[in-house]
Chains A and B, each alone.
Chain A
Amino acid sequence: MSSTLLVGTRKGLFVIRDGGVEGPLLQGWEVFHAIASGGVLYAAANHFVYGAIVQRSEDGGATWERSEPIEGLKRAWHVEPAGDGALYLGGDPGCLFRSGDGGRTWEPNTAIAEHPTRERWQPGAGGLCCHSIQVLPDALYVAISAAGAFRSDDGGETWTPINKEVAADFLPEKYPEVGQCVHKLLAHPGRPGRLWQQNHCGTYRSDDRGESWERLDGNGLPSSFGFGIALDPADPDVAYVFPEQADEYRVAAEGRLAVWRTGDAGASWAPYGDGLPAPAWAGVLREGMSFDADGVYFGTQSGSVFVTRDGGWHEAASQLPAIYSVEAAEL
């Protein structure tokens, strides 16, 4: 494994590199997500007393600088680099922010804050959280639980709901314009227009920038429910999910810690690799899966991090606090 893993937990940030585990950094903070960009670490950090903030470190985590207070932010969920020092921040309550100065100050995206469908959004179990942000050359995408997925073709000035054919089984109207409980949305970096999402109500793929979706969990997955999703940058037909028992239970499906893989764009799925413990009743949260060109990674709420390069799973860390996020990084 050549990548460094940033592991956000309920009790701070850990860094896994060169076979060792460093941390906790930001001890006392709940790190919902951490990412590296341009040699800078960014953490979506929350504290039950001191609030929500973005922390940044230019020295690999030795020292941290807080962003300016972010008005209206109840919980920080996800930081996404956008190039040239710009970043996006997603959070609760269903809010999106942009920073043009490397995460020091943040401006709200008013088109999300004042979206005409907003009165039909409602919080999921994790709150009304904007947790997925994808920055593509031709579009921005966000996903909010439980509001659904949205695409902007004008740099965030306007947002179009992209939830057609995505189920919301918990609502009276099963296929509404908005209100879907997306758990994680990713865009494939090499196939324009291809999106994947793990939803409260199924696993989906879109090949037309979210204009339509194909439901895939009926093609062999043991559950329609899950949170994390991972991709293969070299192959747009590959995706990985961690099926969980829906939705009152939220632990590994069939009592078995298993990542399921498709190599044919979701037409079929199969358990991926060997070496994961069973029986196991752990859960993986929405930010708990990651990938890069070298492998696939996930962390459990019971504090284990598993990595693979070729299907042979290895436990890279154990006995950590409850894991909120795993992110592969080059540091």
Chain B
Amino acid sequence: MVAVVLPSLLATQAGGRKRFEVDAATVESALRGLPIADLLFDDDGALRPLVNVYVDGADVRYADGLSTPVSGGQTVRVVTAVAGG
């Protein structure tokens, strides 16, 4: 199983649950199964621009994006980009 960890606001929207254990082979399948998936993806099905996703600390944008493979024991962390001072 792959762990998915959400930031505070998304956890609230997920009914107060911050951590999910999912059976997934890619980052996209791990995220699509979440109850807050609608907040992560835009109308075109792409990850919203200010949503960052890390697998074991590595930004998936520098790997294969949503196609980045995941396997049991790994942690997918959703992090909201913070801009400004």
Contact = CB atoms under 8 A, between A and B. Distances in A.
Interface of A: 27-28, 47-51, 53, 66, 68-69, 71-72
A50 B40 CA distance: 6
Given A66-B39, A68-B38, 7 more contacts: A27-B12, A28-B8, A28-B12, A47-B39, A53-B39, A69-B38, A69-B43
A72 B43 contact: yes
A47 B80 CA distance: 11
B63 interface: no
Nearest to B51: A49
B13 interface: yes
Interface in B1-25: 8-10, 12-13
Interface residues of B, number: 15
25 contacts: A27-B9, A27-B12, A28-B8, A28-B9, A28-B12, A47-B9, A47-B39, A49-B48, A49-B50, A49-B51, A49-B80, A49-B81, A50-B9, A50-B10, A50-B39, A50-B40, A50-B48, A50-B51, A51-B42, A53-B39, A66-B38, A66-B39, A68-B38, A71-B43, A72-B43
A71 B38 CA distance: 11
Interface of B: 8-10, 12-13, 38-40, 42-43, 48, 50-51, 80-81
Contacts of B51: 49-50
Contacts of B48: 49-51
A66 B13 CA distance: 8
Contacts of B13: 66
A47 to B, nearest CB: 8
A184 B43 CA distance: 29
A74 to B, nearest CB: 10
A27 B38 CA distance: 18
B42 to A, nearest CB: 7
Contacts of A69: 38, 43
Nearest to B9: A28
A27 B13 CA distance: 10
B29 to A, nearest CB: 19
A50 B13 CA distance: 11
A55 to B, nearest CB: 9
8 closest residue pairs by CB, A with B:
A50-B39, A28-B9, A49-B50, A69-B38, A71-B43, A49-B80, A49-B51, A49-B48
A28 B12 CA distance: 10
Nearest to B50: A49
Contacts of A66: 13, 38-39
Q: Quick one: which of A47, A49, A69 has the most chain B CB within 10 A? A: A49
A47 B8 CA distance: 14
Q: Quick one: which of B10, B39, B81 has the most chain A CB within 10 A? A: B39
A53 B50 CA distance: 17
A69 B38 CA distance: 6
A51 B48 CA distance: 9
A295 B45 CA distance: 46
A298 to B, nearest CB: 29
Nearest to B52: A49
B38 to A, nearest CB: 5
B38 A48 contact: no
Contacts of A53: 38-39
A51 B39 contact: yes
